[in-house]
A and B are shown apart, each in its own frame.
Chain A
Amino acid sequence: MQIVPVVLKDINGSTKKMVHYNRHSRIRDMKNSDDYETMPDEQLMVLASRGEKNAFATIVRRHQQALVNFFRRMGVNNNEEDLVQDTFVKLFKFRERYKPSAKFRTFLYFVARRIYVDYVRRQNRERTGAKAFTNHLSVVATVSDASSDQKTRAVEALHTLSEEMRSVVVLNVYQGLRYHEIVEILEIPLGTVKTRMFHALRKLRKAMSHDVEKA
């Protein structure tokens, strides 16, 4: 649809700047990539599962940036882009499991979190062994005195949380997911989401106010 700013007269005769919509100049071609840009994710995913590559490509372009930051905030350094690619490839493999009635973003982050957990397990197997997995999920980082920059302190504080708490905070605060969506992604009860969020914010407040070391 052609959208052109024009100056028109209103019903009272005075001029004003309006928007002119040329509704009848539109070429309706469902294969046009411009059409995909305005489609909701749920519809794109259905099209992707029917073999529409461009629909899937639109999903990738739309969500890749958010996924990079999701992995970064979860504590991944330098491998974020690989994990983002893995997420989309897995999303494609899971396409038959996706039901259009479900929110797409919930499904996307369910897959993304699985990718993250697998990544952490791989990292720990490469380091020390199974025992280290639990430790790694708990350990995290230190908020150092030297990080006077508020933004850096916030990120470092985030990394002092256990993986369970960090997941809830990242999904809710950064990825904008609601509690009931987090319930589905993490497969935990709503009460647990509320409790983890509360305790996470308490710890984060302390971590950003003082030096904290957790092991």
Chain B
Amino acid sequence: MNAGLDAFAQSLRAQGAAVTQVDWSPPRVPKLHHTGQGIDIEAANAEACRRINAGRPRLLGLGPARQVIPGCHDRLILHAGPPIAWERMCGPQRGAVMGALVYEGLAEDEEQAAALAAEGEVEFAPCHHYHAVGPMAGIISPSMPVFVVENQAYGNLAYATQNEGLGRVLRYGAYGPGVYERLRWMEEMLYPTLQAALESIEDGIDLRALISQALHMGDECHNRNRAGTSLFLRAITPALMRTCPDGQRAAAVFEFIEKNDHFFLNLSMAAAKALLEPAEGIPGSTVLSVMARNGTDFGIRLAGEPERWFTAPAGVVDGLYLPGFGAEDANPDIGDSTVTETAGFGAFAMAGAPAIARFVGGSPEDALETTLEMYEICFAEHEHFTLPALDFRGTPLGIDVRLVAESGIRPRLNTGIAHKEPGIGMVGAGVLRAPAACFEAAFRAVQRW
């Protein structure tokens, strides 16, 4: 390979030698191999990626948040992204909070709910602090049923709600009777039916297998989940039919899932969370264990210093809009769904999901280049999530804050776009990059380790 003057590569090619020209530019920060304490960063990152690769997330069942999430209590409201107070929450996240409080019966209407939140009557915490993840506003309230995913290689558990569908839904900041009716149905019908079915499947459903298959079927398991949802239905339907005595109910559950192309998202997110947590706490590891947004702030955490958030303002999405909406309506980047990119798929696996590229405004060629570019900032490659379009090369795994700081290349993300006002919902989808500032701050912290 040739790093530097292109003429040398040309001479080599003229002789028939196989040469790769490196598109080199000076690193923006010094290269770090050891921490100030003398810990070998490469070895630490290798261990982090080894653990992520070794993870085996399985969907065991569901349970109400207050029952299954350790530390949950009646006034705890979990949200997507880094810690944030009510006063700074963006429109859609407030909308989702207000809706959740009404749903829980803690407030009679949304106005009262807002007052409750403003008065500090409710405890807010990131989903990530409770081994959970939530898409878009990412609100988990105590009564909501959550999926329970176990990483069988390490025994850790992760949680996520059931996906409501698209349009006027709580996670996009909408509220009102239609939203609550749906949430209630999901709590009273969807959850118990799925739970019975899952209980009857020995050892649960292997989510790693479903994700790797979905990645071979045109999904990237973040913004395109149709294959994953179909595979999930295949996995659960026999058990559903056997354990649900009421054929109408079974059919309704099947239809609910079938109509929601993103049902699998919450499962892929929970699986990603389960894969990542065992990597936390490896001294000296500069690999990201968390990447999440609350619609106001974008936050990351490093495996080597897992408790600490590095934040920057959440970015503006460059996207396509549903009819009647435009950029002036859009809320900034929001959601825990970037846990998928953190775990080595999502936008990083776009080389396997060319259809998504068009949907978010790019071309299939852009989809390939997105993945190729992400290899530049990742420490390793996935052993189980592979890309046929790249000769079955593993997806980029382990966003390394050193490589981001050196190259100036920021992680690429795909996302839905919520309306900036509470109560409205989804307005579009698009692409953006993570903001530089939190990576720069994280790198400076690493320099002081």
A and B interact: no
A contact residues vs B (CB 8 Å cutoff) = none
B contact residues vs A (CB 8 Å cutoff) = none
